[in-house]
Amino acid sequence: MTLSSVNLADIETTLKTKNLIPASCLAIFVGGSLARGWQHARSDADLYVVSTEPWTGEADGFNAVALDPATVPTNSSYLDGRRIEVRYWTDDQIDQLLGKVTWERFRETDSIGDRINKAESYLLARLSTALVVSGVDWIDRRREQLADSAFRPMLTMRALAVADSYVEDALGMLESGDQHAAILAAHGALVAAADALAANQGELGVEDKWRARRMAAISSPVLPFDRYWELTTMRSYDPEQPKRWVEDVLELCRTVALEVEI
């Protein structure tokens, strides 16, 4: 059985059989690569279980979150030889998290989503593309709240800020004659600019390994996939003229910032 053929009902049955569903469960969904159809032969299945009460059953790890409670228990198990990682969120944690991505926060205190940590960002991104196992009404309602929130602009602004920082570094390194460092900084700027474009077009994932997938998915006229791939794989880089490649990339970053409208 391959991951792509995992039946959502089988997942729920497996969780029930292993007593991995809390009594106060509101929703279960699959996130990550499996939900996008991007899974590979060795992909895990990322499952999210949301309940009213905190999970008190078996756990073998946790994700740290800046919420109350401050942890999301995790439990790893297997379905037909495939690893399934279950994360147990509470409904109240989701409320708190959505409270961090309001437009008021965006305008007044946290335009780059500095208070959202990695696990929190993953939850929101995966909620947006979730495959529903159970609790469709809950998930639909939360998706609407997410769509109305400032999470997308926060991610976009964060990526633009990272790109700016790398651009500044690359220019300074060129001025100092450190071309190797300038090339790496320019590559960092390219990555961040691509992330800004993708986030602004609704691709909210932040994992590096799926950047090419995200760029293909958005099919941006500002940075078409072929151009992105040419630059990120440095096919147009000429060792005899490193400054030219750096400046090409920085010019592209300038164009991206010009085109991204929040």
Partner 1 sequence: MSLPVTPDTVVVPRLDVRVRRVGGDFLVGIAEEAYSLSESGAFIWRQINGRRTVREIAERLATEYDVDDATALDDTSATITELNGLDLVRLGPEESAG
Decide whether 37 or 202 has the Cβ nearer to partner 1. 202
Decide whether 33 or 200 has the Cβ nearer to partner 1. 200
Helix or strand or coil: residue 140? helix
The pair of structure tokens assigned to 179 is 């071309």
Helix or strand or coil: residue 141? helix
Decide whether 17 or 255 has the Cβ nearer to partner 1. 255
Counting contacts by CB under 8 A, is residue 167 touching partner 1? yes
Counting contacts by CB under 8 A, is residue 251 touching partner 1? yes
Among 164, 181, 184, 217, binds partner 1 (CB under 8 A): 164
Decide whether 123 or 260 has the Cβ nearer to partner 1. 260
Q: Are 44 and 122 in contact (CB under 8 A)?
A: no
DSSP letters spanning 70-91:
SEEEEEEEEETTEEEEEEEEEH
Counting contacts by CB under 8 A, is residue 159 touching partner 1? no
For residue 29, the Cα-to-chain-centroid distance in whole angstroms is 16
Supply φ then ψ for residue 29, to 5 degrees.
-145, 160
Among 28, 133, 160, 182, binds partner 1 (CB under 8 A): 160
Counting contacts by CB under 8 A, is residue 191 touching partner 1? no
> Where do we find the tokens 């460092």?
181
Q: Are 200 and 260 in contact (CB under 8 A)?
A: yes
Shortest distance, position 260 Cβ to partner 1, whole Å: 7
Shortest distance, position 248 Cβ to partner 1, whole Å: 11
Counting contacts by CB under 8 A, is residue 64 touching partner 1? no
Task: Tell me the C-alpha distance between 177 and 198, whole Å.
Answer: 32
Q: By CB under 8 A, what part of segment 209-238 binds partner 1?
A: none
Site string for partner 1, 170-189 (x = CB under 8 A): -x------------------
Decide whether 55 or 106 has the Cβ nearer to partner 1. 106
Supply φ then ψ for residue 45, to 5 degrees.
-105, 125
Closest by Cα among 169, 163, 195 to 183: 169
Element spanning 63, H or E: strand 61-64
Task: Tell me the C-alpha distance between 236 and 206, whole Å.
Answer: 26
Supply φ then ψ for residue 37, to 5 degrees.
75, 20
Query: Site size for partner 1, by CB under 8 A?
Result: 17
Span of 30-38, 153-161, 213-221, 234-242 interacting with partner 1 by CB under 8 A = 153-161
Counting contacts by CB under 8 A, is residue 257 touching partner 1? yes
Counting contacts by CB under 8 A, is residue 112 touching partner 1? no
Among 53, 95, 114, 168, binds partner 1 (CB under 8 A): 168
- Contacting positions for partner 1 (CB under 8 A): 153, 157, 160, 164, 167-168, 171, 247, 250-251, 253-254, 257-258, 260-262
